[in-house]
């Protein structure tokens, strides 16, 4: 019933979006320490707290919010709720100015005694933490795919420039100092792509993919950061001066190293699965 009600909203011609409300100001990677609470009263829950920074906040047609229904139970007390836009008590403030990923508005989403019917609880009571881990595992693979696309775009820009830029009567791509960098970039991007494909294949087979998802996200995000940085070096002032795409690519790549868990968090996850 929830899928029938809410998912069609994301398929509208104007391109509606949803918003995933996980992060809190002091929570960070400690996903079991939610300060946002969900108190059960009769046939509804009352949610209070704040989520920040939240991507698509203010533009979302609905929010998926994680909250603790019993702070004494830790992870077992975490639940996830669907909250439609316009629900009384939901407010958006503090649009954050970011160096990268500027196309996605990022805000603070505040919940002031928001009444949510029990029908909007996702899954069984207490299943929110498991749902969160599954959501992040999926998201890391897809963020890895975004990183592959970003790195590929940076590589293509750098190759076009290196072929056109002529110094001492020859294109700079003829110099090993440039061509070897491009070769390394191309190799890393293909490796990242294969890691993402492997992870998605495991998803299709309904097999465990937690480690592989973090591997894909870790390698692809670092590859994107290296590709955009090396691309900037190859292009020199042409890439550094605004409004060139390479400058935007580099800023976006740094954000992708943080979203869905930093590279250090991915290493922790991978190590725990060895």
Q: Which amino acids are annotated catalytic? A: 260
DSSP state at residue 199: H
Planar angle of CA 131, 132, 137, nearest 5 degrees: 100
Strands 60-68 and 17-21: parallel
Identify the bridge partners of residue 121 per DSSP, sorted by sequence position: 81
**CB–CB of 92/105 below 8 Å?**
no
- Sign, CA dihedral 20-23-28-33, equals negative
Residues 6+ apart with CB under 8 A from 190: none
3-state SS assignment for residue 16? coil
Q: What span, in angstroms and rounded, lies between the C-alpha atoms of 196 and 145?
A: 6
User: 209: buried, middle or exposed (CB in 10 Å: 19+, 13-18, 0-12)?
Assistant: buried
Q: How many CB atoms lie within 10 A of CB 152?
A: 19
Structure tokens, 123: 């899954």
């Amino acid at each position: 019933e929830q899928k029938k009600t809410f998912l069609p909203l994301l398929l509208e011609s104007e391109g509606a979006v949803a918003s995933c409300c996980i992060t809190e100001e002091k929570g960070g990677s400690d996903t079991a320490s939610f300060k946002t609470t969900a108190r059960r009263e009769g046939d509804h829950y009352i949610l209070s707290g704040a989520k920040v920074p939240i991507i698509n906040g203010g533009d979302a047609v609905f929010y998926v919010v994680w909250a603790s229904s019993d702070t004494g139970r830790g992870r077992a007390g975490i639940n996830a709720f669907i909250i439609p836009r316009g629900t009384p008590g939901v407010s958006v403030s503090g649009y954050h100015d970011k160096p990268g990923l500027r196309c996605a508005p990022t805000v603070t989403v505040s919940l002031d005694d928001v009444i949510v019917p029990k029908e909007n609880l996702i899954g069984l009571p207490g299943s929110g933490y498991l749902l969160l881990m599954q959501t992040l595992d999926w998201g890391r693979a897809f963020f890895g795919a975004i990183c592959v696309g970003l790195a590929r775009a940076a590589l293509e820009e750098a190759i076009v420039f290196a072929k056109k830029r002529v110094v001492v009567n020859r294109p700079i791509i003829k110099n090993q100092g440039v061509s070897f960098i491009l070769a390394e970039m191309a190799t890393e991007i293909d490796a990242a792509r294969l890691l993402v494909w492997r992870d998605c294949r495991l998803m299709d087979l309904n097999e465990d993919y937690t480690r592989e998802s973090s591997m894909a996200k870790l390698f692809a995000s670092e590859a994107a950061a290296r590709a955009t940085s090396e691309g900037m070096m190859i292009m020199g002032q042409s890439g550094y001066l605004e409004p060139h795409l390479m400058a935007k690519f580099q800023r976006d790549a740094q954000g992708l190293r943080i979203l869905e868990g930093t590279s250090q968090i991915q290493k922790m996850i991978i190590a725990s699965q060895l």
